[in-house]
Amino acid sequence: MITVVGSLNMDLVVQTAHIPRVGETVLARDLRYVEGGKGANQTVAAARLGGEVSMIGAVGKDDMGDRLIEALKKDKVDVSGIKRSSEASGMALITVDAHGNNAITVISGANHDLSLQDLNRHEDKIANSSIVLAQLECPLDLVTEAMFLAKKHGCISVLNPAPAQPLPKDLLDLIDILTPNETELQILSGLPTDTLQECQTAGEKLMASGIKSLIVTLGAKGCYYMDSKESIFYPSYEVKMTDSTAAGDCFNGALVAALSRGDSLADAIDFAMKASAISVTRPGAQPSIPALEDMEGFDLWYEERRLDK
């Protein structure tokens, strides 16, 4: 069992030729409402890719909250840990350019109404899990408590530190696997991360803070794994990108799904990279996330879509 503690948002997505600069107005073709939020996206990815998943989070008592919960139910997620808050459901405003790059503004709403009491009320879900996954779109004290409960019950604790913010040492000490992208690694370490060597140096600094394993996702370049014994670079499965929204969430959900069924960390990373490669060829957040049957034909799928073909 996997428990995800995190956010649920309704994504308002617009497609533009380019992401506007400061003071610039651009025209968009349409507006799409897509279920999202880092916590929900990672929950869906873990569920579609073979995991048994429960989620702890909060949505408003509104139509968007209804939609967000129903979307999780379709993927057989245990939603009994999701609070119906008096706050409005969270939202994200997402602009996607012609190359699939995005810019995102998040309105937290009900996500910041999730309390320590709400979390502790569902401690049994964590106690019955082997992995607990969290992000930073919910209050930091809540994330720290989730990681504490994970360690209390012998779970693997995984934190995707997005959106990045300084993390206290008492939280870092509780994390088994930290999964920043290069921008988040730069913020967390205070060091540049423009090259692979710089990522390694920044990662080494972060590892000294108490992290046991570090996976730095590098977008189209791949990812970088580091622990106390080794550092390994995994090149990406390069494909033509349509929309990178939720690619990192897909990676995290796929990673914990693979770990939950007993895969080695190396195999879980490769599985997560394959899932992410599929996701960036599809538009939207949760709609882009592949299912387990998509992964079974990955080699043939990739051979037809690889960028160097």
Tell me whether residue 241 is exposed, middle or buried, using C-beta atoms within 10 angstroms of its C-beta: 0 to 12, 13 to 18, 19 or more.
middle
Least confident of 96-105, 231-240, 254-263, 287-296: 96-105
**Rounded mean pLDDT of 282-288?**
85
Beta bridge pairs of residue 10: 35, 91
Least confident of 32-46, 67-81, 97-111, 151-165: 97-111
Q: Are 7 and 40 in contact (CB under 8 A)?
A: yes
Token pair belonging to 259: 């770990």
Q: Are 143 and 127 in contact (CB under 8 A)?
A: no
Which residues are part of the catalytic machinery? 249
**Rounded mean pLDDT of 71-98?**
95
Q: What pLDDT does 309 receive?
A: 62
CB proximity list for 180: less than 8 A, separation 6 or greater:
160, 161, 162, 164, 188, 214, 216, 217
Whether the per-residue pLDDT at 179 is higher than 90: the answer is yes
Q: What pLDDT does 304 receive?
A: 85
Q: What pLDDT does 156 receive?
A: 97
Whether the per-residue pLDDT at 124 is higher than 70: the answer is yes
**Rounded mean pLDDT of 152-178?**
94
pTM (2 decimals)? 0.92
Top-tier CATH class for 2-7+38-86+111-305: alpha beta
How would DSSP label each residue in 155-195?
PEEEE---S-----HHHHTT-SEE--BHHHHHHHHSS--SS
* 209 confidence band (pLDDT: 50, 70, 90): confident
Q: How many residues does the chain have?
A: 309
End-to-end CA distance of the chain: give it in Å, rounded: 39
Average model confidence (pLDDT) across the chain:
93
Beta bridge pairs of residue 156: 131
Alpha helix segments (H runs only) across the chain: 38-48, 63-74, 116-121, 123-127, 140-152, 169-172, 182-189, 196-207, 247-260, 265-279, 292-296, 298-305
**Rounded mean pLDDT of 194-198?**
89
